[in-house]
Amino acid sequence: MKVTIDNLEKTHAFCLSTGKIKEKTADRELIKSLKFVAEKGIDFIDRRSEDISEESDEWTFVFREYYESLRGLIEAYILFEGIEADNHQCKNAYLCYKHPELELDWNFLETIRLKRNAINYRGQLLTFTDWNAFQLQLTLHINALKKEIEQKLG
């Protein structure tokens, strides 16, 4: 099944015009906490994944934890600017539209968001091959955001 990815500029404009992206007071302690939880989630799932066989469908939950950790880092990053959004797509759109210098991949973020929705709302399970297709990009996006957040926190 081919997934259609919405246009970044149109998605960002829609999120702004419908009030899904809004201002919020920047909170350094919340940013630190979101980063900490994201890192703990990755550490936890990395330890657990050592015992998962390649034939298992538990790779679904490895993917989901990585996704949630990335989402938390995205939320932390945009919070530096006093921004919050009502949904994952609008958070991703804001970040990619306003910060092209981060070189985060809009198409990848949308692909994994839709994959996460398929897991959570349609009961789809992932194989090791599925996980393996996402792992490198997820890790690169997570590491890029962690580095930027650490720099901003000083």
pLDDT single digits (tens) 78-87: 999 999 999 9
Tell me the pLDDT tens digit for each residue of 47-96. Answer: 999 999 999 999 999 999 999 999 999 999 999 999 999 999 999 999 99
Asked if 125 and 53 touch (Cβ cutoff 8 Å), the reply is no
Q: Which two tokens stand for residue 21?
A: 């992206």
Tell me the pLDDT tens digit for each residue of 141-153. Answer: 999 999 999 999 9
Confidence of residue 114 (pLDDT cuts 50, 70, 90): very high
Taking the CA atoms of 13, 103, 88 and 20 in sequence, report the sign of the dihedral they define.
negative
pTM of this structure: 0.95
Q: What CA–CA distance (Å, rounded) separates 40 from 30?
A: 15
Provide DSSP, 52-120: --TT-STHHHHHHHHHHHHHHHHHHHHHTTTEEESSHHHHHHHHHHH-GGG---HHHHHHHHHHHHHHH
